[in-house]
Structure 1
C-alpha cells in the first residue's frame, strides 16, 4: 500500500510539498480552514476591482517551473509570466526619483545620473551581493541546517572556509554605509531587510544577498496575476491525485507516544504515515499539539517575530502614467521609522509606502480609466496595540505623503476600500501576532535558529512555510517544500 501524507495548510509551501510528495508516490490530502487555497497568496474582488491580497513581488520563477517539470509537465501549459524591465520606481522625501531598471548597466547609469553615486560603486555592491549568494545559497537556502549530511558535503565545506565573506558581523546598515557616500543609496539597499520582515539597523549584512536575487535573477509578473501561482499549482497537484479539503480546520495532530498517527478534523480521525504542517509553528504547537507541552521547542517559540503589514486596497478612479507596477515612497527618516516598528511597537507618522498596481500589466484588474492600488506599510507584530486608532492615523499620513509626491489628493479618488491589518493577517492565515515571515532575522545567528523542517521529537512530523527554515517569501517557502521532500 502506498504511504499517506497529510498537509496542514494550503499555503504555497503546503501546495508545493503536496506536489513533491505525490510525485514520490504518496497519497496526499491537504486540509485548510479557509474556503480557498493559497494562504497569504490569495485574491479578492470588490466593486469591479481585483486585488492580489498578499505577496506582490515574484522572483526566482524557476522554483515554480521545477514543480511542473518534476511532474513531467510543461510549465507554460499551466503558468505564464513575463520579466519586468523596471523593477521598481522610487520616490524620496527630498523629491529625488529613481527608476530601478532590471538591466544592471542601465540601473548603474540611472543611479549615477539621479543620485550621483559612481557606477563603479553600484557594480562593486552587486559583486558583493553575488558573492554572498554563491557562498550561502546551496547551504543556507537549499539544504537543511539541521542534518549532519549537509555539513559533510564538499560544497558546504568550501562555503564554511569562506564564511567570513558573508559579512555576518556587522549590520546591513553599517555595510551599506561603507559602500555608499549618499544616504539615499544606503536607504535604497537598507530597504531589502523588509523583504523578510527585519530591521536593517539590527539584521546582519548577510541579508545584502537579497538585492542579488531581485536585480540579478530579475522580477516577474504572472500573466494572470500573483494568485495564478496558487491556482496553477493547485491544478497541477490535483492532476497528480492530491485531494484538497477546504473549510476543514485541523483541530489536533494525533500522536501515539511520540509518533504521528494522523490528524483530527471535525471529530474525525484521518490516519497517515506522515504529517506536514504549513501552519505557523507557534500555532502548530500551541493549538495542534496543545496537550503535549513537553514537546514544545520553547526557545524557538519565544523568538522575536518578524514585522507585520498594514494594507489598504484602494480602487482609484484615475490612472497615473508616472507610476509602475512596483513603487516606493521613502520615509525622510528611515531610522526613526524602524525604531517605531521595533522599539516603540507603533507606526511612525512618516512611513515608507509601498504601492503595487497590478492593473498596469493586467488591465482587467480595474474598470476602464481606473487602477487597483495595493498600498502597504511595514508595522509591528500585533501585541495588543490600539489598531483602530493606529490605522486611522496611518491612513491620513499615507494620503498626505502621496499628495506631496504625486500632487493630487488621492482621498478624492478612492471609490473602493478594503483593509488588512496584523489582526486579520493572524486570523486568516494563522500567522502568530500577524507576523508575515515567522521570526525576524535581526541577529547574526537567525538563519541557524529557525525551526527545522523535521521535528526532532515527533517521528513523522515535518514543517514547511515561512515560519521555518529557510524563511518567508515565495522562493524560500518553495525551497522549504523541497527540503521537506528530500528529508522524507
Structure 2
C-alpha cells in the first residue's frame, strides 16, 4: 500500500484524497486551518450562517459523480434555481435572468431580445468547442492543443478581446455588463480578457445553477464525511513548511512532524507549492487575477428587492477595473449580493437575512485598508437604497489579507487571464519531480467548484498511473 500525502483540505484536496483512497492508497490529508474547505468556509454566529467563498454552483453532476464513483448515494439535495440572477442598474432598471430564456426575453426590447439570444448561442458554441479539451479532458499537451487549434482555433477568436466580441452583437449597455461580468469568475478584468471567456456565460445561463441544501459549505461537510468513511487520515492545523526531495522524488512532507511518503498531491496555490520545494515559479512575475472583499451583514427585516443572487452595477462599470488595475480601491464598485437564506431559511433567524456582499479588489500588496472598505461597502448598500442603517445588526469581513493565506498575493485564481494562452492554467505536473501532481484553481482545469473537484480527480489519476 502506497502512502500519499495530499496538501490542502479545500474542495480539490478532498476530491484528490477520495479518489486516491478508492485506489487503496494510505492517504494523509494535511490542512493548515482547523477546519476543511479552504476558500469554501463558513461563519456561524448569533443564528446567522454565511458561506465565505463560492456562492454559485453549476455542473452538480460533478459533485454527485464523486459519490457515485465511491459507491455512495450523494447526501446533498440540489435545488435548481429558476431565477438565476437579479441585475440592478444605476438607472433603476431591474432585469431578471431566468433559466427559461423566454421569461428573460419578456423584459427585453426587440433589439435586446436578438442580442441576448445571439450572445447565448455564441457562448454555447465556444463552450462546446472548449469543454472536451479544457474542462473534462486530461491536462492538454502539445498534440491536444494542436488538435483544438485546428478544429476550433479561429472560431475561438484568438486575437479578439471579450468586450469586442460582446459588442459585435450590438447589446444594450445593460446586457453588455451582464455578459462582461462573467470574466470576473476567473478573476479577469473584463476589458482585458480574451473572447474565449464568453463561454462561461453558457455554463450559468445555458446549463443553469443550483442551490445545495446546507449551503455551499454543505459540500465540504459531505466530502469530508466521505473521506473519513474511506479512511483518509485528516490532519488539521498542520502547516506544511517544506517538501524534501530525493533523487527527483518527494520523500517526505515536513509539517508539525516529518511525514515520509511515496507520492504527493498538492492542492495549494502553484506558487506556494514551488516555494515549498525551494523553487520559484515564473507566475510570481505575472499579473495576478482579481482579489475580493466580502462583507457579511446580519440584517434585520426582509428586502423584497433582493433575490438569491443579486448584482448591483455602478454607473461606470469600466472605471471599477481601471482603478483595480492601478492598485486602487474602486470608489463605486459592483456589488454582488448573495442571500443563502432565500434557499435555506435556517441560515438566518426568523425575520432576519444573511447578506454576503462581495466586491472586486486589488491584491494584497497594494495596502488596502479593509476596515475602511467594509464601511464603504456598507454605506453603498444604504446609498443605493437596499438597506436602512438600523437594519444592520453587525458586520464582518474577509478580504485580500485572508485570501493571501491560501492564494499568492490574495489573487483568487492565480495569474490574470488576459490572453488566450494565459487562460490555460498550468499543467498539473512539476518537471523534475516524478511523484508530485497538482490540483486546485491555479492549475488545470482552473477555478470554480466543479473545476476544482475535477482537478483533484485528475491529480489522483496522475499519481495512480505512475
TM-score range, shorter chain: over 0.9
**Equivalent position of 1:102 in the other structure:** 99
Q: What do residues 308-362 of structure 1 show as CA deviations (whole Å, max 9, x unaligned)?
A: 11111000011112211100000111111110011x1111111100111111111
Q: What do residues 38-67 of structure 1 show as CA deviations (whole Å, max 9, x unaligned)?
A: 001111212221111111111111111110
Rounded Cα–Cα distance in structure 2 between residues aligned with 1:408 and 1:436: 28
**Equivalent position of 2:230 in the other structure:** 240
**Equivalent position of 2:198 in the other structure:** 208
Corresponding position: 1:406 with 2:385: yes
List structure 1 segments (4+ residues) > 6 angstroms apart after TM superposition.
none
Could you tell me whether the CA contact under 8 Å between 2:78 and 2:210 is conserved in 1?
yes
For structure 2, list consecutive stretches of 5 or more residues without a partner in the other structure: none
Structure 1 residues 57-456: aligned runs within 5 Å:
57-75=56-74, 78-112=75-109, 117-147=111-141, 150=144, 157=147, 160-266=150-256, 268-286=257-275, 288-290=276-278, 293=279, 296-297=280-281, 299-342=282-325, 344-388=326-370, 391-393=371-373, 395-396=375-376, 398-406=377-385, 408-409=387-388, 411-427=389-405, 430-448=406-424, 450-456=425-431
Q: Secondary structure at the match of 1:383?
A: helix
Rounded Cα–Cα distance in structure 1 between residues aligned with 2:304 and 2:375: 23
Corresponding position: 1:55 with 2:54: yes
Cα displacement (A) at 1:159: 6.2
Q: What do residues 431-455 of structure 1 show as CA deviations (whole Å, max 9, x unaligned)?
A: 111111111111221133x321111
| Structure 1 length-normalised TM | 0.91
Rounded Cα–Cα distance in structure 1 between residues aligned with 2:428 and 2:171: 41
Could you tell me whether the CA contact under 8 Å between 1:91 and 1:405 is conserved in 2?
no
Rounded Cα–Cα distance in structure 2 between residues aligned with 1:317 and 1:104: 34
Could you tell me whether the CA contact under 8 Å between 1:173 and 1:200 is conserved in 2?
yes
Rounded Cα–Cα distance in structure 2 between residues aligned with 1:436 and 1:300: 14
Rounded Cα–Cα distance in structure 2 between residues aligned with 1:160 and 1:234: 42
Q: Secondary structure at the match of 1:202?
A: coil
Q: What do residues 265-298 of structure 1 show as CA deviations (whole Å, max 9, x unaligned)?
A: 21x2211111011111112222x222xx3xx33x
For the aligned residue pairs, the C-alpha RMSD in angstroms reads 1.7
Could you tell me whether the CA contact under 8 Å between 1:453 and 1:469 is conserved in 2?
yes
Cα displacement (A) at 1:158: 6.1
**Equivalent position of 2:31 in the other structure:** 32
Rounded Cα–Cα distance in structure 2 between residues aligned with 1:271 and 1:237: 21
Rounded Cα–Cα distance in structure 2 between residues aligned with 1:43 and 1:269: 30
| Structure 2 length-normalised TM | 0.95
Rounded Cα–Cα distance in structure 2 between residues aligned with 1:165 and 1:321: 43
Q: What do residues 96-134 of structure 1 show as CA deviations (whole Å, max 9, x unaligned)?
A: 11001111222233333xxx5342322211111111111
Rounded Cα–Cα distance in structure 1 between residues aligned with 2:277 and 2:191: 36
Aligned pair in 2 of structure 1 residues 26, 401: CA closer, same or farther (>3 Å)? same
Rounded Cα–Cα distance in structure 2 between residues aligned with 1:394 and 1:45: 19
Q: Secondary structure at the match of 2:323?
A: helix
Could you tell me whether the CA contact under 8 Å between 1:447 and 1:469 is conserved in 2?
no
Q: Secondary structure at the match of 2:16?
A: helix
Q: Secondary structure at the match of 1:110?
A: coil
